[in-house]
Chain A
Amino acid sequence: MAETRYTKDHEYIRIEGDTGTIGITDYAQGQLGDVVFVELPSIGKAVAKGGEAAVVESVKAASEVYAPVSGEIVAVNSELEAAPGAVNEDPAGKGWFVKLKLTNPAELEGLLSEAEYQDYVKTL
C-alpha cells in the first residue's frame, strides 16, 4: 500500500518501496491556473531535499517544484511536455513529474501526512 506524504510547498511524494513519485497537490494546481509548460530534469540527476526537481509554468507564473526528500531522478513524465494540462486535470495521477530513488528515507519523517496537509491547507 503506497503512502503519500506532503510538504508545505504543496508537493506530494507517493512512496512505493525505495522510490517516490513527486507531483504537486490539487490545491497547488488550482492556485497556479492553467499549466502550459513543465520543465523536467534529466534522468540520473541527484537532487537534495529542497532542491529543484522540476519547473512548472502556468499562464501567470513559473514555479519550482522542490524535492520533498533527497534522491536520484529515475524517471520523468515526458508526456507532460506534449500535454502539460494533465497537471490540472489529474495532479495525483497522470500529472506526476518525476520518480525519485530515495537516498535518505529518514527524511520522510519530517513531511506532512494526508490529514495534516489538509488541515494546513484550511489555514491558508
Chain B
Amino acid sequence: MRYLPLTDTDREDMLARIGVPDIDALFSDVPAGKLLKTPLDLPRAKGELEVERIMGRMAARNVAASAAPFFVGAGAYKHHVPATVDHLIQRSEFLTSYTPYQPEIAQGTLQYLFEFQTQIAALTGMEVANASMYDGSTATGEAVLMAHRVTKRRKAVLSGGLHPHYTDVVKTLSGMASDEVVALAPDVAANEDILAQIDDETSCVVVQSPDVFGNLRDLKPIADKAHAHGALLIAVFTEVVSLGAVTSPGAMDADIVVGEGQSIGNALNFGGPYVGLFAAKSKYLRQMPGRLCGATVDSDGHRGFVLTLSTREQHIRRDKATSNICTNSGLCVLAFTIHMTLLGEAGLSRLAELNHANAVKLADMLAGVKGVKLLNDSFFNEFTLKLSKPAAEVVEALAEKGVLGGVPASRLLPGAGLDDLLIVANTEINTDEDRAAFVAALAEVL
C-alpha cells in the first residue's frame, strides 16, 4: 500500500481554511520549552525489505516467551490456549463487530457478553458482573472511584501486596478526582497491619490475593473490619486461574471484585490488549462503571439480549459519564468466554490444581539450590525467592543460559530495597524438563 503524505499545497489549503498563518500557530498553547527545537533524528525513508530486516534483527535479540523455559508472571501469565479459541474469535461476525448498541443485529455478541458476565459472577462469587473493563489495573482504579460514590467518602487504603502498577493506576485516577490514597509499603511476607489503617473516613480497602509476591490472603477479617467502619472491601486478583482453586472473594464477603482476565483465552500480547473483570454485590449495581448485558424477551416472547444499565456511559451521558472505559476489550472477552466454556467448572479446577502442583514442585526444587530462600508460606502458582545476588543480574544471566526465570522485584518496585527478590510463576505450560533447566541454570548463576 502506498503511503500518501500531504503536499505543501494541502497543508497551505488547510491552514488557510482554519485561518492560521502556519503550523507553529497550532501549537501556540504548548509552552515553548516543551517543543522540539530540531527534527527527530530519524532516517528519511527506508524500503519495506530493509525495514523488515532491521525489525527482524531487533526481534532476534529477544528471548521469546515461547522459545525458552518461561517462568515470568507478576500480572501477565503464559497459559495454553486451545486452537479452537483463536479459530472461533476470527469469525468475521465477531472480529469486526462494533459495540452492540442495536440488539436486532447483535444477538451473537450480546449473548457471549451475557455468558461472560455469568462466568465472572460465578468465578468471583459475586451477584453481578459487567461486560468487562479495559484491564485489571484500570478496573481497580474504577472500583476505588465506585467505592467513593457508594460511601460518599474519599480515602482509599491500598495493601502493600497490590501490584505496584495497579497502585500507580489507582493513584493516577484518584489524583484526578482529588481523592486520598493511603498505599502501604511493599509487603513481601503479607504481614502488614492493614486493619489499623481502616477508620470512619475510609471508603475502601484494596487487597490483592494471591498478592504480587504470590501470597494467598484471608480477606474475611479485612472485610469485617471494613464493614464495621462503613467501608467496602475491594478484592483484586491478577491471576484468574487461581479462582479455580482458592476460596472466592465473594465467599470472603468482598463488596467489589476486580481483576485481570488475560490468563484465560488470551496470549501475553506484549502487555495488551487485556481484559478487566469487574463484579460487585447487586446492591451496588447502579454505581458500577461500564455496561451490562441483560436477558429479556422480544415482542413475540422469544428470549433475547440487550445492553442495559449503560445510561452512565459516554454515548448517553457524555462528560457526566461514570466511566469512559467501556470500549471493552470485546474480542478478549470472547476469547475468555470460549476458553472458559471449553474448560467448564471441572476443567478450570483441574487446570488450577495442575498450576499449583507444578508451582509447588518448582518451589521445592529451587529452595534446594544454594543461595535461594523461598519466602512464601502459601501461594497459588507464583512465589517469591530471596537470592544471594541481585535478582536483576540473575535474571539476565539466566536469559543468557536460555531460561526466562521470573521478574525481579526491583523492576516493579525500583528503590524499595528489594533487589534480592525474584518473583517466579509456574503454570501448566512448564514441563519437568523446563523446571530442571531452571534449577540447573540458577545453581550455576548463583
Chain A interface residues (CB < 8 Å from chain B) = 37, 39, 42, 57-62, 64
Q: Which residue of A lies closest to B313 (CB)?
A: A62
Q: Which residue of A lies closest to B287 (CB)?
A: A39
Given contacts A57-B311, A60-B311, A62-B311, contact A37 B286 (CB under 8 A): yes
Contact A61 B311 (CB under 8 A): yes
Residue from B152, B286, B316 within 8 A of A61 (CB atoms):
B316
Contact B286 A62 (CB under 8 A): no
Chain B interface residues (CB < 8 Å from chain A) = 152, 286, 311-312, 316-317, 320
Q: Which residue of B lies closest to A81 (CB)?
A: B286
| A86 and B121 alpha carbons, distance in the complex (Å) | 32
Contact A42 B317 (CB under 8 A): no
Contact A64 B320 (CB under 8 A): yes
Contact A62 B152 (CB under 8 A): no
| A57 and B320 alpha carbons, distance in the complex (Å) | 13
CB distance from B218 to the nearest CB of A (A): 34
- The A-B contact count (CB < 8 A) is 18
| A37 and B286 alpha carbons, distance in the complex (Å) | 8
- List residues of chain B with CB within 8 A of the CB of A42: 152
- List residues of chain B with CB within 8 A of the CB of A39: 286
| A60 and B316 alpha carbons, distance in the complex (Å) | 8
CB distance from B145 to the nearest CB of A (A): 15
- List residues of chain B with CB within 8 A of the CB of A60: 311, 316
- List residues of chain A with CB within 8 A of the CB of B152: 42
- List residues of chain B with CB within 8 A of the CB of A57: 286, 311-312
Q: Which residue of A lies closest to B311 (CB)?
A: A62
CB distance from A16 to the nearest CB of B (A): 28
Q: Which residue of B lies closest to A42 (CB)?
A: B152
Q: Which residue of A lies closest to B322 (CB)?
A: A62
What are 18 A-B contacts with C-beta separation under 8 Å? A37-B286, A39-B286, A42-B152, A57-B286, A57-B311, A57-B312, A58-B311, A59-B311, A60-B311, A60-B316, A61-B311, A61-B316, A62-B311, A62-B312, A62-B316, A62-B317, A62-B320, A64-B320
Q: Which residue of A lies closest to B152 (CB)?
A: A42
| A59 and B311 alpha carbons, distance in the complex (Å) | 8
| A64 and B312 alpha carbons, distance in the complex (Å) | 12
- List residues of chain B with CB within 8 A of the CB of A59: 311
- List residues of chain A with CB within 8 A of the CB of B317: 62
| A57 and B287 alpha carbons, distance in the complex (Å) | 12
Q: Nearest 9 pairs between A and B by C-beta? A: A62-B311, A57-B311, A37-B286, A62-B317, A61-B316, A62-B312, A61-B311, A62-B316, A42-B152
CB distance from A24 to the nearest CB of B (A): 16
- List residues of chain B with CB within 8 A of the CB of A62: 311-312, 316-317, 320
- List residues of chain A with CB within 8 A of the CB of B312: 57, 62
Q: Which residue of A lies closest to B312 (CB)?
A: A62
- List residues of chain B with CB within 8 A of the CB of A37: 286
CB distance from A6 to the nearest CB of B (A): 23
Q: Which residue of A lies closest to B308 (CB)?
A: A59
CB distance from B230 to the nearest CB of A (A): 14
- List residues of chain A with CB within 8 A of the CB of B320: 62, 64
- List residues of chain A with CB within 8 A of the CB of B311: 57-62
- List residues of chain A with CB within 8 A of the CB of B316: 60-62
| A106 and B261 alpha carbons, distance in the complex (Å) | 57
CB distance from A26 to the nearest CB of B (A): 22
| A42 and B317 alpha carbons, distance in the complex (Å) | 22
CB distance from A25 to the nearest CB of B (A): 21
Q: Which residue of B lies closest to A38 (CB)?
A: B286
- List residues of chain A with CB within 8 A of the CB of B286: 37, 39, 57
Instruction: Give the most central of B311, B316, B320: most A CB within 10 Å.
Output: B311
Known A57-B286, A57-B311; 10 more pairs at CB < 8 Å: A37-B286, A39-B286, A57-B312, A60-B311, A60-B316, A61-B311, A61-B316, A62-B312, A62-B317, A62-B320
| A75 and B311 alpha carbons, distance in the complex (Å) | 26
Q: Which residue of B lies closest to A39 (CB)?
A: B286
| A64 and B321 alpha carbons, distance in the complex (Å) | 12
Instruction: Give the most central of A57, A61, A64: most B CB within 10 Å.
Output: A57
CB distance from A31 to the nearest CB of B (A): 15
| A46 and B38 alpha carbons, distance in the complex (Å) | 53
CB distance from A34 to the nearest CB of B (A): 12
| A62 and B320 alpha carbons, distance in the complex (Å) | 9
| A59 and B306 alpha carbons, distance in the complex (Å) | 12
Q: Which residue of B lies closest to A64 (CB)?
A: B320
| A58 and B286 alpha carbons, distance in the complex (Å) | 12
| A42 and B320 alpha carbons, distance in the complex (Å) | 19
Q: Which residue of A lies closest to B149 (CB)?
A: A39
| A59 and B320 alpha carbons, distance in the complex (Å) | 17
| A42 and B150 alpha carbons, distance in the complex (Å) | 12
- List residues of chain B with CB within 8 A of the CB of A58: 311
| A62 and B32 alpha carbons, distance in the complex (Å) | 42
CB distance from A18 to the nearest CB of B (A): 27
- List residues of chain B with CB within 8 A of the CB of A61: 311, 316
CB distance from B435 to the nearest CB of A (A): 54
CB distance from B291 to the nearest CB of A (A): 13
| A39 and B284 alpha carbons, distance in the complex (Å) | 13
| A61 and B312 alpha carbons, distance in the complex (Å) | 8
CB distance from B101 to the nearest CB of A (A): 12
| A57 and B312 alpha carbons, distance in the complex (Å) | 9
